[in-house]
Amino acid sequence: MGGTSEQTEVVCGIDIGSTNLKVVALDRNGRVVARARQTTPRNPSDLSIDAQSILDAIEDMIIDACGSDYIVAAVASAGVGEDGVLVDSNRKPLGRALAWFDPRRTRLFDALEPRLTASKGLGVTTNPSHSLIGWLWSSQQDHGGNASTWAAITDFAACSWSRRTFISETLAARTAAWDVQTRAWLTERVEMTLGSSALLPEVLRTGEPVGPLYSPRLSHAGVLAPTAIVVAGGHDHPIGGWGVDQLHPGAILDSMGTAEVVVAQSPTANVLRFDGCDVAPGILSHGTTLLAVTEFARNVQWISQDPAVAASFDAIVAGSQKPDGHLHSESFIPGGQGGVRPRYAADAPAGPLSRASAVAGALARAGGAAIHSVASMMPPGAPVYVAGGWARSQGWIDIKRAVIGTDVHIIPEPEVTAVGAALLAARGINWPSPARTALSFNPARI
């Protein structure tokens, strides 16, 4: 069954997150006309991921979002960069994907790390979260010799719909086995973990049209245009940052959610990874994607062991309580990547407000350092935009402005990544879809 002439064509952006799945539909004018959201399905016993369940859930959400009013002309997916699964020749998953935060990865990484040789072309610092550790785990499972290729969870639906197994460039950069300078796989790392380079999918540029979209479920539901296509998406934060770059060329996005991730699209080509900043190919450009990550939620969770400090911190970020002078102190040392635990300094004050103020200041400075790191590779005066759940906390925004020493602009749209993916899909079929309209917020469509 196809759609009807009364249905309005839309493009869909999909955000496959660690916690939630989101779908956003844009019309030709860039307006968000529908959206859907649900919890990311995971195995309750070990948090592993069934790729087919993700695909089924996404199709359910597209059908729900479109209803009888809209019909899909193009889709693009964005999501977490490191999860993936081996599939057979029919693109059926051969087991579950190991989540990027699964503690089993640490044991595998500790055994592998001494055997890894350095490569300056890597866009990331190798750690347990990256795809090559998922490869190693998958290669140790019994697949009965049926493995045909490896697919990222973020790309899985797009691979199924297009009948073409691929990996987006921004996701290849997250494997810790792909040289971002030469755009080539590091064969030694691949064979040490995945077992064979023959299991690697083809690499496509983020934003590149992949091919026609085939989906019996979407077609039967009457929400699929006959000429619908799949557009290659990729890593969630860079795609959200690219969307903001379409709004304001040269902008930096500070995405404040579970982690604080600062991203930008630098016009400079072939930037090498530098301290505190990962790199990937630019999206639909000859430049470079810049990405800096700081721990945020884990630090807030740690201080919440003391309810009084947690209450003071919540009041500060909400704007109902002014921080005291310890905002500018070094009384709190944030935890960081690699398992570094948060802690208070030996001379830290005992009062809840002072401790909460010290935490707020330290986290704001860490985010500011990430912004300045990314800004060092951007044209002078790059504006800073903020998005995510914490961007709606006025007290936190005021602190960031004071600590960073620069103004920040708030993106009102709550699903920046999904909208960025939808804008990619729109670009793939040459729709105008202005970013300024797309990234505004229509509360009637939440």
Q: What is the DSSP letter of 227?
A: E
In a domain, 372, yes or no: no
User: Are residues 87 and 141 in contact, defined by beta-carbon separation less than 8 angstroms?
Assistant: no
pLDDT tens-digit series, residues 47-95: 788 999 999 999 999 999 999 999 999 999 999 877 899 999 999 999 8
Tell which residue, 77, 283, 61, 47, has the closest CA to residue 160: 77
C-alpha to C-alpha distances, 421 to 77, 86, 194, nearest whole angstrom: 6, 25, 29
User: Are residues 75 and 11 in contact, defined by beta-carbon separation less than 8 angstroms?
Assistant: yes
Please provide the size of the chain in residues.
Answer: 446
pLDDT of residue 444: 43
Q: Minimum mean pLDDT among 1-10, 384-393, 402-411: which range?
A: 1-10
pLDDT tens-digit series, residues 80-135: 877 899 999 999 999 888 888 888 888 999 999 999 998 889 999 898 889 999 99
Share of the chain above pLDDT 90, in %: 76
Q: In angstroms, rounded to a whole number, what is the distance separating the alpha carbons of residues 184 and 134?
A: 19
In a domain, 196, yes or no: yes
pLDDT of residue 285: 95
pLDDT above 90 for 171? yes
Q: How many independent structural domains does the chain possess?
A: 1
Specify the amino acid at residue 340: V
Q: In angstroms, rounded to a whole number, what is the distance separating the alpha carbons of residues 167 and 128?
A: 20
Q: What is the DSSP letter of 390?
A: G
Looking at per-residue confidence, does 259 or 327 come out higher?
327
pLDDT of residue 406: 80
pLDDT above 70 for 442? no
In a domain, 341, yes or no: no
pLDDT band at 43 (very low <50, low <70, confident <90, very high): confident
In a domain, 405, yes or no: no
Q: Minimum mean pLDDT among 111-125, 313-327, 387-401: which range?
A: 387-401
Mean pLDDT (whole number) for 325-331: 94
Here the CATH number for the domain that contains residue 32 is 3.30.420.40
In a domain, 90, yes or no: yes
Q: Under 8 Å CB-to-CB from 184, ≥6 apart: which residues?
A: 178
Mean pLDDT (whole number) for 332-346: 82
In a domain, 18, yes or no: yes
Tell which residue, 362, 355, 354, 235, has the closest CA to residue 296: 362
pLDDT of residue 210: 98
pLDDT of residue 337: 61
Domain limits for position 229: 8-235+421-445
Tokens (6 digits) for 77? 């997916």
Q: Under 8 Å CB-to-CB from 237, ≥6 apart: which residues?
A: 253, 255, 261, 263, 291, 417
In a domain, 89, yes or no: yes
In a domain, 269, yes or no: no
Looking at per-residue confidence, does 336 or 108 come out higher?
108
pLDDT band at 2 (very low <50, low <70, confident <90, very high): low
pLDDT band at 172 (very low <50, low <70, confident <90, very high): very high
Q: Minimum mean pLDDT among 193-207, 219-233, 281-295, 330-344: which range?
A: 330-344
Q: What angle do CA 20, 26, 31 make, to 5 degrees?
A: 115
Q: In angstroms, rounded to a whole number, what is the distance separating the alpha carbons of residues 201 and 367?
A: 35
- SS3 of residue 379 by DSSP: coil
